[in-house]
Amino acid sequence: MVAGWSAAQVKAAEKPHLDAGEPLMQRASAALADLVDDELRRADRWPGRVLVLAGSGDNGGDALFAAALLAARGCTVTILATGSRLHEDGLVAAIGGGAVVDDAEVWLDPAVATERLGRVDLVIDGILGTGTSASPALRGRARDLVEVLLPAVGRADGPPVVAVDIPSGIGPDDGSVPDPVVLPARLTVTFGGHKAGLLIAPASELAGEVVLVDIGIGDELAAMPPIVEV
């Protein structure tokens, strides 16, 4: 049986560790990079060409720190900012590792997106995490980018998607999908504990294989009643 916790419960479990200065983001991003590495090697695409969709928050930070590690290992890593800014420390690390930030606005042309995505081996979805918004639906440039990438990603020969913590656009607590503009993940790398929404349809159908990464908050979560068990 798999237990799922709410976003608020996971944040509460993380808080004492963050207050103590523990590098939870670095633990998460290192595991994410290793799992992306495994996916590329399994597909005989190492060192691969990786497209990183990075949002403004900690989810984007996880993706950027993983991008830094992948680029330093030899991957060709392209970053698209899906919001108005990028996580500062993550961006510095990614560029320092050898990743390149591309102009996201250019990718909004469907012809350009299709052509460039044809040269991508894997997509990392680091747009949105558990967040605090009333609706998890993508908005603005993030939604526009996902909408233009969906047709190519959805093909059998399209690049697989690895979601960071949750697929961007799903309800982390209730498994809702208020807008169908969501990249379906082949693999979701979730941190600390399963988010309840990953276990509940229809979101569970977009998460692919879910791999839980231990970042050191298990004892705190074990003291909290999960909101779903499947």
Q: For the residues 63-83, what does the mean pLDDT come to?
A: 98
Give all strands of the β-sheet with 49-54 in edge-to-edge order. 100-101, 76-81, 49-54, 122-126, 161-164, 187-191, 209-213
pLDDT of residue 47: 94
Does residue 118 surpass a pLDDT of 80?
yes
Q: Structure pTM?
A: 0.97
**Taking the alpha carbons of 193, 197, 201, 207 in that order, is the dihedral positive or negative?**
negative
Cis ω before 47 (30° cut-off from 0)? yes
> Which position has the token pair 């839980």?
212
Percentage with pLDDT > 90 across the chain: 94
Mean pLDDT of 4-28: 97
pLDDT of residue 156: 82
Q: For residue 191, which of 43, 26, 64, 77 has the smallest C-alpha distance?
A: 26
Residue-wise pLDDT for 54-67, tens only, equals 999 999 999 999 99
- Spacing of C-alpha 47 from chain mean position: 20
Number of separate domains in the chain: 1
User: What's the distance, Cα to Cα, between the start and end of the chain in Å?
Assistant: 5
Note the pLDDT tens digit of each residue in 135-171: 899 999 999 999 999 999 988 889 999 999 999 999 9
pLDDT the model gives residue 157 = 87
Q: Nearest Cα to 65, choosing from 141, 183, 164?
A: 164
CATH number reported for the structural domain that contains residue 110 in this entry: 3.40.50.10260
For the chain, what's the residue count?
Answer: 230
Structural domain that includes position 48 = 3-229
**What does the pLDDT read at residue 65?**
98
Phi, psi of 176 (to 5 degrees): -75, 155
pLDDT of residue 113: 95
Work out the mean pLDDT of the chain and round it to a whole number: 96
pLDDT given for residue 27 in this prediction: 97
pLDDT over threshold 80, residue 227 = yes
Q: What are phi and psi of 172, to 5 degrees?
A: -65, -25
Task: Tell me: pLDDT of 133 over 80.
Answer: no
* pLDDT the model gives residue 132: 62
CB-CB contact of 172 with 197 (8 Å): yes
Tell me: pLDDT of 134 over 80. Answer: no
Reported as a single tens digit per residue, the pLDDT across 30-46 is 999 999 999 999 999 99
